[in-house]
Amino acid sequence: MKCYLNAERVIGTVNPMIYGHFAEHFHRQIYGGIYDPTSRFADEDGFRTDVLEAMRNIKVPILRWPGGCFVSSYNWKKAVGEGRVAVFDKSWRIEDPNTFGTDEYVKLCRKIGCEPYICTNAGTGTAEEMSDWVEYCNLKNEGEFAKWRITNGYSEPHNIKYWSIGNENWGAHEIGARDTKEWGRLVAESAKMMLHVDPSIQLSAAALTDIDWNVNLLKMAGKYLKWISIHEYFDRLSAVYAPSDYETAMARTARLGRSIESVRGTLMMFGLHKQIRIAFDEWNLRGWHHPFVHKNLTESPDIETVLKARDKNDTNSTYTTADSVFTACFLNDCIRNCDIVGMANFAPVVNTTGAIFTHENGIVKRSTYYVFELMTKYMGESAIGTWIEDVPVEAVSGEQIKMIDVAAATRKSDGALTVSAVNKHDVENRELELVLEGGAAARKTVTVYTVNGASKDSYNDIDSEQVAISVTSFAVGSDTVKVELPPHSVNVIVIE
């Protein structure tokens, strides 16, 4: 396969927020994950230092919180200040102690060095409650809620720039689900109140690829929005825990890009594609396993059985090279569509199907973790177009799949040309021939960073790291760079 690269053919700037993450009050993501005052790794504020270090290492740029479905019955006012009282989380059917709230979340983001991104309650919540939350976080000292923040020990505003109105309120599974007209009106009224408090914030709103939903949303509230939020999990495990094998996961890469193109078309129809960008603010190959929550509620077993089932999400052997390869393909698609996709949030960052798994004696960095390490450390910011010849295509689980996936960009810091190249084949090496054109032809030193394991089913677990990063370097004396891509591998090629 030949890939022609010209560093002067810039197609857009990659927003580092496409490498963002997400944390929800579900199972062990917050309590027992990021926040665990009982852990021997806890710092003075109760955060696990090993988790913080791991998140800093992959340069988490933005962290979406508190949900997810959790937020649709969440009252933020009960989780700030003194005298907090535990509440029953009606989304996930478990008691939440409310010890981790807005101020703790902002403190977490400051420790990591990332942007906060709050998703508001548009289920049981109101426009007034959403705007009160903005007051608490962003006003200096005006009004009841800014003064409350000061009383709680935070004299300076939190200055949170990114806010989302609602989470999946288009779905019957969501508490406070709406129809298309209800949703457009609620978003418009909520946005008005929030922007009256702080006109500098950037707002998103829950959407999907449904044309009727998006048309009503954009007609009624488009002028207030900077983002439109979409979600996608490609291996649905909510009711039945039967993770797809490697081949099926690769077949699902055929779906990548469809949601982006659908929403892009709707934005262009309204002439809003320059104003509103896509926030793919929940995504993963694997969906979360949570039986008897969104369906079959009347048939639900006892709550202990329901909660125990969620432990299956923490089965590390599920997260193989299939997950790393799929993750890299998704991020490549965001790079190629950087003109319209400005944010993406891997769901979640810790535990469940996340990149990091916590246990009593430390953490496990799953295969997906190393993909984010490669992308955030080595990929460039100026995306360039590619011309590709002879792409190998094979039938996989009923889909015609391009077996090599490529995205390219140049780095602003040193001008290096960077290529993210994925080989999806389960057993065969594939040669990638990079033809350097224009200003790219002067580059002669090549370093290849590879995420891979010995087999397509390799995974990382406690005291067992089968998937890791390897590095090779070589020099070239021509305008052609040939790189051998191992099977089931993710590679970032840096040409200097």
- What are the pLDDT digits (tens) for 332-353? 999 999 999 999 999 999 999 9
Alpha-carbon gap, residue 222 to 205, rounded angstroms: 9
Residue 295 has pLDDT above 80, yes or no: no
Answer with the residue of higher pLDDT: 410 or 295. 410
What pLDDT does residue 470 have? Answer: 98
Mean pLDDT, the chain, as a whole number? 96
What pLDDT does residue 302 have? Answer: 84
What pLDDT does residue 301 have? Answer: 80
402 and 372 fall within a common domain: no
201 and 299 fall within a common domain: yes
Q: Please give the helix or strand (H or E) that residue 407 lies within, else none.
A: strand 404-410
Pairing of strands 162-165, 277-286: unpaired
Cβ atoms of residues 429 and 485 within 8 Å? yes
**Beta partners for 404?**
423
Backbone dihedral angles phi then psi of residue 466, each to the nearest 5 degrees: -95, -20
**Beta partners for 284?**
233
* Residue-range definition of the domain harbouring residue 354: 14-378
Pairing of strands 445-452, 460-461: unpaired
112-165: per-residue pLDDT in tens? 999 999 999 999 999 999 999 999 999 999 999 999 999 999 999 999 999 999
Instruction: Report residue 175's pLDDT band, with 50, 70 and 90 as the boundaries.
Output: very high
Alpha-carbon gap, residue 418 to 373, rounded angstroms: 14
Cβ atoms of residues 450 and 470 within 8 Å? yes
**Beta partners for 346?**
21, 283
Residue 439 has pLDDT above 90, yes or no: no
Tell me, what CATH number does 394's domain have? 2.60.40.1180
* Beta strand spans in 114-249 (E): 115-120, 162-165, 202-205, 227-235
286 and 191 fall within a common domain: yes
Instruction: Report residue 178's pLDDT band, with 50, 70 and 90 as the boundaries.
Output: very high
DSSP calls for 387-437: EEE---EEEETTEEEESEEEEEEE-TTT--EEEEEEE--SS--EEEEEEEE
Tell me, what CATH number does 120's domain have? 3.20.20.80
Domain boundary among 348, 378, 408: 378
What pLDDT does residue 440 have? Answer: 62
Domain boundary among 323, 348, 378: 378
Mean per-residue pLDDT for 299-308? 85
Alpha-carbon gap, residue 261 to 255, rounded angstroms: 11
The burial of 407, by beta-carbon neighbours within 10 Å (0-12 exposed, 13-18 middle, 19 or more buried), is given as buried
38 and 154 fall within a common domain: yes
Mean per-residue pLDDT for 318-329? 98
220 and 334 fall within a common domain: yes
229 and 244 fall within a common domain: yes
Pairing of strands 356-359, 362-365: antiparallel
Cβ atoms of residues 320 and 453 within 8 Å? yes
Q: Which two tokens stand for residue 419?
A: 């290529």
Mean per-residue pLDDT for 445-468? 97
Residue 208 has pLDDT above 70, yes or no: yes
Alpha-carbon gap, residue 48 to 56, rounded angstroms: 12
Cβ atoms of residues 293 and 26 within 8 Å? no
Residue 298 has pLDDT above 80, yes or no: no
Instruction: Give the number of domains in the chain.
Output: 2
Instruction: Report residue 441's pLDDT band, with 50, 70 and 90 as the boundaries.
Output: low
Residue 443 has pLDDT above 70, yes or no: no
386 and 368 fall within a common domain: no
Mean per-residue pLDDT for 388-415? 94
73-117: per-residue pLDDT in tens? 999 999 999 999 999 999 999 999 999 999 999 999 999 999 999
Domain boundary among 363, 378, 393: 378
What pLDDT does residue 300 have? Answer: 77
431 and 312 fall within a common domain: no
351 and 469 fall within a common domain: no
What pLDDT does residue 299 have? Answer: 76
366 and 392 fall within a common domain: no
Residues 6+ apart with CB under 8 A from 470: 449, 450, 452
Give pTM, 2 decimals.
0.97
Percent above pLDDT 70 for the chain: 99
Instruction: Report residue 444's pLDDT band, with 50, 70 and 90 as the boundaries.
Output: confident
Number of helices and strands in the chain (H, E): 11, 25
260 and 206 fall within a common domain: yes
Residues 6+ apart with CB under 8 A from 278: 227, 228, 230, 260, 263, 264, 337, 340, 341, 342, 343
What pLDDT does residue 292 have? Answer: 84
Least confident range of 182-196, 265-279, 429-443: 429-443
Answer with the residue of higher pLDDT: 477 or 161. 161
304 and 407 fall within a common domain: no
Mean per-residue pLDDT for 30-57? 98
